[in-house]
Amino acid sequence: MAKIAVLGYGVVGSGVVEVIHKNGRTIAGKTRADLEVKYILTRRDYPGDPFEELIVKDFSVIENDPEITIVAECIGGCGAALEYVRRALKSGKSVVTSNKELIAEHGCELLSLAKERNLNLLFEASVGGGIPILRPLNQCLAANELTEVYGILNGTTNYILTKMIRHGLPFDEVLKDAQQKGYAEADPTADIEGFDACRKICILAALSFGKHVYPRQVKTVGITQITAEDIAFASAAGMRVKLLGRAMLNEEGKLIIYVAPHLMDEENQLANVEDVFNAIIVKGDAIGDVMFYGKGAGKLPTASAVVADVIDASKHAESRKYIHWVDGNDDYVADADAYPMRWFVRAAMTEDEARAKFGKITVIPHQTEGQIGFITEPVSRYGINAASEGCEVLSVISVLD
Amino acid sequence: MAKIAVLGYGVVGSGVVEVIHKNGRTIAGKTRADLEVKYILTRRDYPGDPFEELIVKDFSVIENDPEITIVAECIGGCGAALEYVRRALKSGKSVVTSNKELIAEHGCELLSLAKERNLNLLFEASVGGGIPILRPLNQCLAANELTEVYGILNGTTNYILTKMIRHGLPFDEVLKDAQQKGYAEADPTADIEGFDACRKICILAALSFGKHVYPRQVKTVGITQITAEDIAFASAAGMRVKLLGRAMLNEEGKLIIYVAPHLMDEENQLANVEDVFNAIIVKGDAIGDVMFYGKGAGKLPTASAVVADVIDASKHAESRKYIHWVDGNDDYVADADAYPMRWFVRAAMTEDEARAKFGKITVIPHQTEGQIGFITEPVSRYGINAASEGCEVLSVISVLD
């Protein structure tokens, strides 16, 4: 019997308590892991809640209870969550978390703390919600030299882009609709500016390539500048627009990492990943491309990933799961803007002007008065910026090849 | 240092030796597993092969060498492979295998042997080649009550169907082309008759629902009866044809399991899985739908999955990975023909005759002299058979909803 403390009783925390309660018998049957939630840490009162008697308000109750072997952190952010996770590890408790910000910013430090004390620190739910991705990356693909990991990492922006594509609507209108439906938060900044996807690609890159990358090192472009005109040009070219996080090693072993919207062929596997679904593609030397797909967020998917980690931590109480990465030095991350790729450009100019400025281009057959949309040959972002000088360039979006 | 014996030196076996040799250092760095191939068991000689000095022809050399802790079985079939795997387990060695026939037919017995001796028996490569699916099923989705698992489990038939759809060609012609390109074997029976997919869905069902299912219990229909006319009707309906293995629990807790071609909407995620790619969808109560996608076969993908299992077995030499299922009694498997679903029917009859015989139908707008194609309402296969009596029915194919 593993006794667990759940920190935070919001969407994810209450989901964790619910899944353990509801599926506990199946879990015990399938995995021999017998789980019991002993405490729920929350500042609020929940009178009448079925788990009311488990609520505590002082973390030191948990910290000082030797029966607690696993702490499931579902608070979020890097404030109290960071403090409690540090204290939990220092007091000899394994930690499971869905907190991507915590791992992206402090993963290296916390993994070292866990390693020193032979404890587990697991965070499957921090990327892709309920989609199993970190464990397969770490275990199933262990025999591969991984070369690239990328994908649709944020459900809110994918929902917004899907609606823009389907109905030809402008960004602002779709965002408002998404907020009303609960798919976007009241303050949607972290999603629409790409910060959430940025934290996730940092975690994926660290696991894939063994070195920590901090969100501040990652060039991050969100979807707020994507217009209905961009989408119309993309559709005319047989392409869709998706926000991708992407990380790959270049020939010098440096990391190219960024978050940005991409145009991609509508036959691309990612192009058909719609609404709030996420999909992550991993490239390995032996395995080729492998894709993981599912709902990237939501109470029960995320909670089920947290509980799977709790099960794993309870079964590996003695022999620690080996997840570890080292700190990356400052020059580990290459300049993403120097990476050559094709670009979609929308501009107020004629075809002749476009060819004169951008060289060999493929013009998209779509009529919009005074505007042209085209796709360049592979060139760095600096090259695009130089060519754009003195022109009225309205949009520049990466193309995924 | 874990010393390993590789049984069989064909496509998969030589791939395993190659991956351990080539990626050994990365593997050791990432996972702390230090692997060395000590023996390769094969009946043939390989003069000049870089690993020639490792070759042995007598299994008892491996059986009696206490240094060998892990045996990687890459022989295939249920002859020598079954004997050696039994002997390996009985002599205290963990076993890793890519042999789907072995696990589908003898998994229950072999898992019991492994359990009694506290050994590992791992077989990630037996389903989906290099796609991580069994480990996520067993671990990441452990907190879910799984309700259904299904997918495109055979690359050869998916390649054939893809070519038939793209080029409107008949089955025989595409099969010949696939054989020339090495995508289909000289004797393609196991693939095209659905036997390979059948073994894989048996393994997926056993892991998902905890009871062994034998291939002989599974209704299995291959793709040899699919014609260019069926594909043309499907395309006219905005649908594609895919061979699926499918397993789900009904309300009585009995298993509905079968292998059969299905028509599905072209917007379905599986519809865009083309060529030799596989994709497997798992439904859980907490997680919803999760999909795993990648190349389902091939030397290096399969070998990398075998090596990942070898790594896992070496790291869990002391604490066995818990994979286990019990034998299913005879009445565990329900009659798949009694399960109501929609059907595509192609027949030589008029629309009026079709409505008189099959009740409410959706006629597919596609002109072929003297033939009609339509989709029925949900009905059991028995219902379709009864309605078909006395009519010239040319094709009956399941529809995936």
What's the length of chain A? 401
pLDDT score for A41: 98
CA dist., res. A221 & res. A244, Å (int): 10
Q: What Å distances lie between residue A300 and A26, B122, B143, B158, CA to CA?
A: 16, 29, 10, 33
Q: Do B290 and A130 touch (CB under 8 A)?
A: yes
**Is the model's pLDDT at A319 over the cut of 70?**
no
Report chain B residues whose CB lies below 8 A from the CB of A285. Answer: 23, 300
pLDDT confidence of residue A138:
83
A316 pLDDT more than 90: no
Chain A residues with beta carbon closer than 8 angstroms to that of B264: none
Picking from B216, B275, B282, B220, the residue whose alpha carbon sits closest to that of residue B245 is B220
Bridging pattern class, strands B393-399 and B343-347? antiparallel
Residue A2, C-beta contacts closer than 8 angstroms, at least 6 positions apart: A33, A34, A35, A36, A69, A70, A310, A313, A314, A317
Residues 6 or more apart whose Cβ sits within 8 Å of residue A221: A194, A258, A259, A260, A261
| SS3 category, B380 | coil
Question: Is the predicted pLDDT of residue A317 greater than 80, yes or no?
Answer: no
The first and second tokens of residue A220, run together, are 């991050």
pTM of the predicted model, to two decimals? 0.90
Q: Is the pLDDT of residue A254 over 70?
A: yes
CA distance A332 to B208: 42
**Closest to A245 (Cα-Cα) out of A263, A264, A262, A225:** A262
Contact A23 B307 (CB under 8 A): no
Q: So what's the pLDDT on residue A318?
A: 64
B23, B269, B272 ranked by CB distance to A144: nearest: B23
Residues 272-301 of B with CB under 8 A from A: 272, 284-295, 298, 300-301
Q: Does the beta-carbon distance from B130 to A300 stay under 8 Å?
A: no
pLDDT at B321: 65
Taking the CA of residue A209 and the nearest CA in chain B, the distance in Å comes to: 9
A253 touches chain B (CB under 8 A): no
What residue has token string 């010239």? Answer: B392
* Residues above pLDDT 90, as percent of chain A: 82
CB contacts under 8 A, B 107-146 vs A, are 124, 130-132, 135-136, 139-145
Q: How far is B372 from chain A (nearest CA, A)?
A: 31
Which candidate, B193, B190, B212, B189, places its Cα nearest to that of B202? B212
Q: Can you give the three-state secondary structure of B237-305, one letter per residue?
A: CCEEEEEEEEEEECCCCCEEEEEEEEEEECCCHHHHCCCCEEEEEEEECCCEEEEEEEECCCHHHHHHH
Residue-level pLDDT at B309: 93
Predicted pLDDT at A333: 96
Contacts of A248 (CB under 8 A, 6+ apart): A147, A148, A149, A150, A255, A256, A257, A283
* CA gyration radius, chain B: 23
Cα dihedral angle (B265, B266, B268, B274), rounded to 10 degrees?
130
The pLDDT of residue B29: 74
Q: HEC string of chain A? A: CEEEEEECCCHHHHHHHHHHHHHHHHHHHHHCCCEEEEEEECCCCCCCCCCHHHEECCHHHHHCCCCEEEEEECCCCCCHHHHHHHHHHHCCCEEEECCHHHHHHHHHHHHHHHHHCCCCEECHHHCCCCCCCHHHHHHHCCCCCEEEEEEECCHHHHHHHHHHHHHCCCHHHHHHHHHHCCCCCCCCHHHHCCHHHHHHHHHHHHHHHCEECCHHHCEECCCCCCCHHHHHHHHHCCEEEEEEEEEEECCCCCEEEEEEEEEEECCCHHHHCCCCEEEEEEEECCCEEEEEEEECCCHHHHHHHHHHHHHHHHHCCCCCCCCCCEECCHHHECCHHHCCECEEEEECCCHHHHHHHHCCEEECCCCECCEEEEEECCECHHHHHHHHCCCCEEEEEEECC
Q: How many CB atoms lie within 10 A of CB A106?
A: 19
Beta strands B277-284 and A372-376: pairing type? unpaired
Mutation pick from B122, B278, B304 vs chain A, by most beta carbons of A within 10 Å, is B304
Asked if residues B323 and B121 have their Cβ atoms less than 8 Å apart, the reply is yes
Task: Give B298's contacts in chain A (Cβ within 8 Å).
Answer: 288
Q: What is the pLDDT of residue B330?
A: 79
pLDDT at A23 (0 to 100): 86
Q: Do B286 and A319 touch (CB under 8 A)?
A: no
- Assess B96–A contact: CB distance below 8 Å, yes or no: no
Residue from B115, B139, B264, B273 whose CB has the most chain A CBs within 10 Å, to mutate = B139
Q: Report the mean per-residue pLDDT for chain A.
A: 93
Kindly determine whether residue B145 and residue A304, on different chains, have CB atoms separated by under 8 Å: no
Cβ neighbours of A34 in B, within 8 Å: none
Q: Provide φ and ψ at A161, rounded to 5°.
A: -65, -40
CB count within 10 Å of CB A60 equals: 10
Question: Collapsing DSSP states into helix, strand and coil, what is residue B328?
Answer: coil
Least confident of A97-111, A306-320, B68-82: A306-320
Distance linking the first and last C-alpha atoms of chain A: 50
Task: Determine the distance in angstroms separating the CA of B381 from the nearest CA of chain A, rounded to an integer.
Answer: 32
Which residue has better confidence, B382 or A22?
B382
Encode pLDDT of A222-241 as tens digits: 999 999 999 999 999 999 99
- CA dist A315 → A308, A309, B124, B129 (Å): 11, 10, 20, 27
Nearest CA in chain B to A325: B30
For residue A123, pLDDT over 80 is answered with yes
Separation between Cα atoms, residue B69 and residue B120, nearest integer Å: 10
Q: Give the count of beta carbons closer than 10 Å to the beta carbon of residue B369.
A: 5
Question: How many Cβ pairs closer than 8 A exist between chain A and B?
Answer: 181
**Residue A37 carries which side chain, given as an amino acid letter?**
V
Higher pLDDT, A166 or A144: A166
Using CB atoms, pick whichever of A31, A142, A311 lies closest to residue B27.
A142
B300–chain A nearest CA distance, Å? 5
What ipTM was assigned to the predicted interfaces of this complex?
0.85
Distances (CA, A) of A309 to A4, A20, A92, A401, B377: 12, 12, 17, 35, 43
Query: How would you classify residue A232: left for phi > 0, otherwise alpha for psi between -120 and 50, otherwise beta?
Result: alpha
Does A294 sit within 8 Å of B290, measured CB to CB? yes
Kindly provide the b/e burial profile for residues A156-166, where b requires at least 16 CB atoms within 10 angstroms of the residue's own CB: bbbbbbbbbbe
SS3 B400: coil
Q: Which amino acid is at B132?
A: P
The confidence score (pLDDT) of residue B97 equals: 97
**Is B378:B358 a contact under the CB 8 Å cutoff?**
no
The answer to whether A300 and A294 are in contact (CB under 8 A) is no
Q: Hey, are the CB atoms on B307 and A26 less than 8 Å from each other?
A: no
Question: How far is it, in rounded angstroms, from Cα A85 to Cα A96?
Answer: 9
State mean pLDDT over A287-306.
90
pLDDT of residue A322: 65
The answer, for A326 touching chain B at a CB cutoff of 8 Å, is no
| Rounded-to-integer distance, Cα A173 and Cα A166, Å | 13
Q: Which residues of B touch A322 (CB under 8 A)?
A: 31-32, 315
Residues in chain B predicted with pLDDT less than 70, given as ranges, are: 317-322
Asked if pLDDT for residue A145 goes beyond 90, the answer is no
Number of Cβ atoms within 10 Å of the Cβ of B133: 34
Q: CA A199, CA B278: separation in Å to the nearest integer?
A: 30
Reported as a pLDDT band with limits 50, 70 and 90, residue A320 is: low
Place of tokens 């037996």: B126
Mutate which of A21, A144, A266, A289 to disrupt the B interface (most B C-beta within 10 Å)? Answer: A144
Cα of B355 to nearest chain A Cα, Å: 35
- Tell me which of A135, A137, A152, A290 to substitute to probe the interface with B (most B C-beta atoms closer than 10 Å): A290
| Chain A nearest CA to B290, separation (Å) | 4
Residue A382 has pLDDT above 70, yes or no: yes
Enumerate residues 152 to 211 of chain B having a beta carbon within 8 A of any beta carbon in chain A. 210
Could B139 and A132 be called an inter-chain contact, meaning their C-beta atoms sit closer than 8 Å?
yes
